[in-house]
Every structure is written in structure tokens, then in C-alpha cells.
Amino acid sequence: MTRSLTVLVVDDEELVGKRLTHVLSRMGCQVEAFDEPRTALSRIQEKEFHLVITDVIMGEVDGIQVLEKVRARWPQSKVIMITAYAMMSMARKAMDLGAYDFIAKPFVPEEIRTVVTRAARDLGFDLTETGQQSE
Amino acid sequence: MISTRSFTPAQGIASGVAERLGLSLINDSLYQAAAERFGVPDRQLRRAFEKGPSLVGMQSARRRRLASCVEAELSSRFARGAAVYEGPFAALRLRGVAHILKVRVTAGLAERIGAAQRQGVARNAAARRVRSSDGAARQIAWAIFGREDMDSDYDLVVNLADASEAEAIDSIVETAMCPAYRSTSFSRRCLHDLELANTAAARLACELGVDVEAELHEGVLRVRAEASERRREHIQKKVESIATELTDIRRVEVRVVDCWLRPLPNTRREDAP
């Protein structure tokens, strides 16, 4: 039996969510994208996602809060942080709190594909860009 | 990256850490590798980092040019894979790469003076030797990096007055294993950019003999060269030529500053505090 890698994307820039959804869908992932971090937190509360990709700096709820929420609620889920304001201290803090990876914007689709493929493999999935996947 | 203050009895710490982590140790071999890569004498490279300024000594500009070769080789070695580096000024080198842990190993003044005394000098002379060594290190740091090599710039400072060598190794290994020092896509990109910028700077320094600062960000190589205005075109062409040989450089921006007309933005004086 095969199942899809479920991914929640949260970024207050709607365009980033759309682009990530496009790239991840082509990899065969089931993606839910949110540009409202509070709505994303509610969704995380009710459903376990294999992977969460979150922006770091987003208005009233930041990516660190998303990371902490996911780590507390679903410890097996992996969290990838993305930010346009990457700094060494921020990356170290995110990794210390249990992030899977930390990516600086702007990034090319290949960079996301590589990290997601690695995370999927660690979760027991085998992803390809064409959308075939096996567990 | 581990820096040990002079006259600190910590001979086996870096090698102990490398052994425990299963990593290769980079130390003096770095000078030789940089010398071979950039065609400069390794003795001069070593002097740039170890010999304090004097009236008849190495000029700051030359010191920085030589240092750029060592920095380029150091960043290339780390870009090839994890390693333990043992050498001076760790906090000031490969800056901004989140997964590189910077450690300073030091000892109390009494222990350091004791270590100097064991070289066969009286206590007063030993104390002078320690002070002089600290002063020289401070001046070298200012000359090469434009700032002081301070404890507060290190991620971890191990004082051998409070810990044995074995405990120091434990502490460093434990810190290095923390998730905060895991490599990320961001930190690897920073290291990659640093390697290319350092390589470009070293080549320009060696091939044109100019004092250069270079940084790479999002594919744009920005070079600031100190030279006379009449060399601007030549430097621009050289930077463009080097950029074509390096991957991932989309564009270059060159700024030539006539050192006779304008002061340096970073105060880099041999006699700075």
C-alpha cells in the first residue's frame, strides 16, 4: 500500500505558498498551504503532517512558534524553516529547537526538492519529482 | 575551529576532539596547502599569522594579502567536509557559517606564565613574554581582520584553570554535537559563498598584488580593491575573468578605492588597540 507524504506550508506571502505547493505537488506530496499562521496552527492542532514548511518571520505568529507547536504536538513530524532574513543566530536557535533544516530565501526549487526528498527518506518515503512514491 | 592562547598548555586538545568526532585535523598543514595552491612561500604565510608587527616587519597590506590565501584554503577545506581546525583567531575566520563551532582554549595568567617559565626563563621575563605575545596577537588580529580577537566572539571558551584537558575535550565534543551546530542548507550556502569569495580575493591579491575584500551573496560577487584609479579597468577585467572560472557567480561589482585619497572604512592599523 502506498500513501502520500503530507505537507503543511505556512508563509504569509501567498505567492511563496503557491510556488511551494506547485513544486511539492509535482513530487507527489499532499499539500495544504496557509498564509494565515493562526489558521495553520489550528490545522496543526487537529492533523498530523509528515512535514511542515514554515516561514520564520510572519506578523504576530512566527515560525519558531510553529516549530515549537509541531514539536510538542507531533514529535515525529519534520519542520523545515524558510526565511528571507536568515541569520546565524536564528539558524542555530531553530536547529536547537528541533528544526530539520533551515533554508534562506530566495531559494531555487531544486533546493527545496533536495531537502524534502531527504526528509521524506528519513520518514520512510521514497519521493521522485514525477509524483511516484512508495513507502 | 579551536584557537589556543599562547602559553596555554593544551597540546592534545584539538587532536583529541578530532579523534573523538572521527574528523581530520587541520593545523600547520594549512599553510603548506595554501602556499602550494597560490604559489607563495609557506614561511611567509605562517609569519603573517604568527609574527607581530615591527618597524622592519611585514606591512599590513602584505599581511592581509598573504592571509587571504590562507583563508581561501581554510574555507575550501571546510567546504569539502567537516573537520577540526587548530590555529589562531578562529572567531574571526569563516564568519557567519552557523554550523562551525568556534572554541578558544585558555588558561589562567599564572598557568600561562608557568608555561613560559618552563621554557627556561625567570618569572618576570616569563610574564613579559606572555604579555608581549598577547600584544602581538592583538596587533596581528587588527592588521588582518580589522578587529580584536575577543573571548566574547567565541561560542565556547574553555579555561584550563577550571578543567582538565580531558574535561575540555568532553566539553568541546558535547557542544559540537548539539543540534545548533548541525549543518543546514543555509549554513552550507554561506560556506559555499565564502569559499568562492575568499578564492577570488586570494587570486586577486596574488595575481595583482592589491588589497582586496570580496563577498558573494545571491550570486553577486562584490569586490572592493585598494588601488590607484588608473588600475580600475585592469582590476575589473581580472575580476570578471576569475568569476568566469568560478561556479555560481552571476554578476560582479567592483569598487576600486584609491588608497592615497580615501581612508579605509574598516580601521586596520597595526597600532590599533
Rounded to an integer, the average pLDDT of B158-164 is: 93
Provide the pLDDT for residue B231: 87
- Site from B186, B190, B194, B248 to mutate, A interface, most A CB atoms within 10 angstroms: B186
Checking ipTM against 0.90, whether it exceeds it is yes
Spell out the SS3 assignment of B123-192: HHHHHHHHHHHHHHHHHHHHHHHCCCCCHHHCCEEEECCCCCHHHHHHHHHHHHCCHHHCCCHHHHHHHH
For residue B181, the chain A residues in CB contact (below 8 A) are 92, 95
Q: Which segments of chain B belong to CATH 3.30.300? A: 185-257
Rounded to an integer, the average pLDDT of B240-245 is: 91
For residue A31, give the 3-state DSSP assignment: strand
For residue B218, the chain A residues in CB contact (below 8 A) are 106
Architecture of domain A6-125: 3-Layer(aba) Sandwich (3.40)
**Residue A28 near residue A50, CB atoms below 8 Å:** no
- In total, the C-beta contacts within 8 angstroms joining chain A to chain B are 43
Are B181 and A88 in contact (CB < 8 Å)? no
pLDDT digits 0-9 by tens, B192-242: 999 999 999 999 999 988 889 999 999 999 999 988 888 888 999 999 999
- Site from A79, A81, A88, A107 to mutate, B interface, most B CB atoms within 10 angstroms: A88
Q: Say how far apart CA B226 and CA B170 lie, in whole Å.
A: 45
Are A95 and B182 in contact (CB < 8 Å)? yes
Q: Which segments of chain B belong to CATH 3.40.50.300? A: 2-181
Q: Say how far apart CA B117 and CA B32 lie, in whole Å.
A: 31
Rounded to an integer, the average pLDDT of B93-106 is: 96
Place of cell 582590476: B235
Provide the pLDDT for residue B259: 66
In chain A, domain spans? 6-125
Distance from the Cα of B80 to chain A's closest Cα (Å) equals 19
Fold assignment, B185-257: GMP Synthetase; Chain A, domain 3 (3.30.300)
Provide φ and ψ at B168, rounded to 5°: -60, -45
Are A96 and B97 in contact (CB < 8 Å)? no
Are B181 and A92 in contact (CB < 8 Å)? yes
How many residues are recorded in chain A?
A: 135
Rounded to an integer, the average pLDDT of B257-270 is: 54
Provide the pLDDT for residue B230: 85
Are A91 and B179 in contact (CB < 8 Å)? no
**Residue A111 near residue A100, CB atoms below 8 Å:** no
Q: Which helix (H) or strand (E) holds A33?
A: strand A30-34
In chain A, the residue whose alpha carbon lies closest to the alpha carbon of B189 is A104
> Which of B179, B186, B218 faces A103 most closely, judged by CB atoms?
B186
Q: Does residue B261 carry a pLDDT above 80?
A: no
Q: Please state the CATH superfamily assignment of the domain spanning residues B2-181 in this structure.
A: P-loop containing nucleotide triphosphate hydrolases (3.40.50.300)
> Which of A96, A107, A115 faces B180 most closely, judged by CB atoms?
A96
The confidence band for B271, taking pLDDT boundaries of 50, 70 and 90, is very low
pLDDT digits 0-9 by tens, A56-90: 999 889 999 999 999 999 999 999 999 999 999 99
Residue ranges in chain A whose pLDDT is less than 70: 1-2, 128-135
**Residue B146 near residue B266, CB atoms below 8 Å:** yes
For residue A114, the chain B residues in CB contact (below 8 A) are 185
pLDDT digits 0-9 by tens, B74-93: 999 999 999 999 999 999 99
Q: Say how far apart CA B96 and CA B94 lie, in whole Å.
A: 7
Distance from the Cα of B248 to chain A's closest Cα (Å) equals 13
